[in-house]
């Protein structure tokens, strides 16, 4: 298989791992949200922010040690700072949607709150996936270069082998 298909396999694996951690984080977020909402007097959006912060901590651990464990680990302070920055943007997206539904439209029943919390998480997840893979958990340049070189050499060897095969004559 060529370099393009191995790149596609890599991105599919990355999306699957991101989805596994994100799915678990989604459950953490929704469970904490509902527990806080029903056991405290916090307003809906504040309960959601608490849940989002808990899931951000959960997700960082999952992304760093599972999804992106093979990525550059040299700048942990920078990585964590960027992760928190983009996570806060995701928090604003997620909870901004819930805020608009709750206070803008008056949709405040437990079912409506969970629906708009879920929609907000979905939209924020698209942003987070792009930002985390682009800025936070960067691919090691050397690893990509080696993979590209190996793929190029493999293709070159296959082409050379085809040229060197003796041609059979048909009588």
In a domain, 161, yes or no: no
First and final CA of the chain: distance in angstroms?
Answer: 35
Write the CA distances from 20 to 12, 14, 55, 86, 125, integer angstroms: 12, 10, 13, 19, 13
Residue 163 is predicted with a pLDDT of 65
In a domain, 92, yes or no: yes
Residue 73 is predicted with a pLDDT of 76
In a domain, 108, yes or no: yes
Dihedral sign computed on CA atoms, order 7, 83, 112, 106: negative
Single pTM value for the model = 0.73
In a domain, 158, yes or no: no
Residue 29 is predicted with a pLDDT of 97
Residue 111 is predicted with a pLDDT of 96
pLDDT tens digits for 49-95? 999 999 999 999 998 898 888 887 778 888 889 999 999 999 999 99
Place of tokens 């008056």: 106
Whole-number mean pLDDT of the chain?
86
Residue 164 is predicted with a pLDDT of 62
Range of the domain at 79: 3-153
Number of domains in the chain: 1
Number of H helices, E strands in the chain: 5, 0
In a domain, 166, yes or no: no
Residue 71 is predicted with a pLDDT of 80
Residue 166 is predicted with a pLDDT of 58
Whole-angstrom distance, CA of residue 153 vs CA of residue 167: 24
Which portions of the chain are predicted below pLDDT 50? 1-2
Residue 1 is predicted with a pLDDT of 46
């Amino acid at each position: 298989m060529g370099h393009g298909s191995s790149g596609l396999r890599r991105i599919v694996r990355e999306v699957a791992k991101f989805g596994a951690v994100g799915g678990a984080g989604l459950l953490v977020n929704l469970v904490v949200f509902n527990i806080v909402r029903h056991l405290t007097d916090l307003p809906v959006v504040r309960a959601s922010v608490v849940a989002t912060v808990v899931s951000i901590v959960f997700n960082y651990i999952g992304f760093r040690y599972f999804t992106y464990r093979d990525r550059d680990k040299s700048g942990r302070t920078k990585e964590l700072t960027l992760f928190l920055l983009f996570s806060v943007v995701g928090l604003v997206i997620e909870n901004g949607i819930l805020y608009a539904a709750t206070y803008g439209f008056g949709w405040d029943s437990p079912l409506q709150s969970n629906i708009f919390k879920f929609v907000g998480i979905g939209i924020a997840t698209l942003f987070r996936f792009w930002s985390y893979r682009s800025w936070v958990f960067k691919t090691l340049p050397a690893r990509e270069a080696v993979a590209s070189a190996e793929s190029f050499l493999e293709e070159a060897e296959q082409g050379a082998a085809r040229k060197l095969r003796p041609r059979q004559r048909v009588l």
